[in-house]
Amino acid sequence: MLQKRPINNFLYLVLISALFARCEVADKGSNKTNVKTISGELSGVFTDDIYTYKGIPYAQAERFMPPAPPAQWIGVKEALDYGPACPQLKQSMTGISAEILPGESEDCQTLNVWTPEINGNGKRPVIVWLHGGGYRTGSSFEQPCYDGENLARKGDMVVVSVTHRLNVLGFLNLAEYGDKYSASGNVGLLDIVEALRWVNRNIQNFGGDPDNVTIFGQSGGGGKVTNLMAMPDAVPLFHKAIVESGSLNTSMAPRYSGLIADSVLNRLNISPENIDEIQNVPFEELLMAGEAVIPKIKKIAAQEGFVIYQFGWCPTVDGTIIPEQPFDGRAPEISKNIPMIIGTAQNEFNSFYSQAKDTTLESVREVLVKSYGDRTDEYIKDFAKAYPDYKPMDLIQQDLIFRTAAVDEGLWKAEQAEEGGAPVYMYMFNWESKNNPLRAFHCLELPFVFYNTDMDTSLVMGPFNVDIDDSEKTQQLAENMSQAWINFARTGDPNVPGKLPEWDPYTPEKGATMIFDGIVKWCIITTNSSWIL
């Protein structure tokens, strides 16, 4: 097992670049890795039977404008390095800023491909990764475990990851200021749609099947998947979907995203008749204007009864690009035939409120009473039914944020399945890192899904090294979980015969849920009108 040490993004890119010394890289005298796209020819890297292409342009766009196919190029374009990240917020001891750093650009529409074959007749399943970070931050390469090489090799499949516009650049709704800006509130998602179009047009040259595409994402990436399920332009471009800890089932209403835009323009002293001046505002000023006004608009929305988890920089349900709230009492009809996997980590963000492992039931009860009052004993009783082997601290560390939304999304999709739609499969990730107080926290399943548990995983959650051991049980979990994702991408069924218990589709009557931990098992999760466990 590799020794794991914390590394930052810049150092990670340097190390990856250094590895090229042992790889076969295309040069002017070799065409071994050359592959054609609709925009021009690319060269990449071939190592350990996998071809890798990074920083491929899939679109181009002016600020706030919908994306268009990338410009053509002449000759062979090297695809050896990741493209730029979208400019985003930075946090430090001295506060928050939006200064554009090296490796960031508004021209950030690039993707990466890992594949076992090019220029052949292969029709491998394609799986497209959408990164986390809400709709505000992140990139296709921000974490080492996003690397798709191991997953492509293990699954004999094509792995694609996408970088796109975020925050104010991707989701400032200027639609009230003229038809020119009618799509501005959703261009971050339209970038992803354009990336899927690129896959549809080009992936066959990379050994992939354009008629067998799975989208998967975690956290904000799961929210992107959820929104794409409700977008008419997107749905024809993919065939299966996986949402990991990201069931962001509702998005912005036009009234509130419009109020944010109005307040941003007022703060920048831009009048409606001079709206095009916004094109020339430095990114930092633009983003910080939005960050300043969002809390005020959020308060107005709450007073009017509109509350969503990702308020602010978030897609807008505009009636056209996104015709309706993605999952709001029912699953979208347009994606009825797309099977899904939906799940969460057991502790998610509740892990930040870590308690000592010897917490007593009496001390936990004092905390629970603040939330559940005279129903505390009822909560504990129902919790025990769902998790017979629970520890007292589980009662306050169990995620009730993402899990609630995930079960809602799963139930609505399951109800649709009963009417002839595709099935939905539910899971919970419960594996805990040794000597890590965060337990089964938000993002922890990623190295397992990507089959990258041997990589440095210290960036999975800020400064923490998650200490993924090389025990037989842990490595078998990575083997089985990644295989479930591979099988689902290939066939729409995540079952791994002989390795996992039978994974039944989720139904309203039986909450069949696969529990991924040291010993993978199947169980039924209890639902209750007051809480979802």
Which residues participate in catalysis according to the annotation?
219, 348, 442
Beta bridge partners of residue 104, listed in sequence order: 85
The CA distance from 199 to 221, in Å, is 18
DSSP secondary structure of 237-276: G-SEEEEES------B-HHHHHHHHHHHHHHTT--GGGGG
The CA distance from 477 to 354, in Å, is 25
How many other CB atoms are there within 10 angstroms of residue 524's CB atom?
13
Structural contact between residues 132 and 218, judged by C-beta atoms closer than 8 angstroms: yes
Structural contact between residues 216 and 246, judged by C-beta atoms closer than 8 angstroms: no
The CA distance from 247 to 242, in Å, is 10
Segment (H or E) for 158: strand 158-163
Measured between alpha carbons, how far is residue 286 from residues 26, 167, 261 in Å? 41, 10, 11
The CA distance from 22 to 363, in Å, is 56
Tokens of 201: 């047009």
Segment (H or E) for 220: helix 220-228
Residues whose CB falls within 8 Å of the CB of residue 491, separated by 6 or more in sequence, listed in order: none
Measured between alpha carbons, how far is residue 459 from residues 89, 131, 325, 447 in Å? 17, 14, 33, 11
Segment (H or E) for 407: helix 402-417
Note the maximum CA span of the chain. 76
Judged by DSSP in three states, 54 sits in strand
**Which string of b and e fits 379-412 if b means at least 16 CB within 10 Å?**
bbebbeebbeeeebbbbbbbbeebbbbbbbbbbb
Structural contact between residues 516 and 445, judged by C-beta atoms closer than 8 angstroms: yes
Q: For 8, what's the count of Cα atoms within 13 Å in the CB-facing half-sphere?
A: 1
19 secondary structure, DSSP code: G
Residues whose CB falls within 8 Å of the CB of residue 206, separated by 6 or more in sequence, listed in order: 35, 51, 53, 113, 115, 117, 118, 158
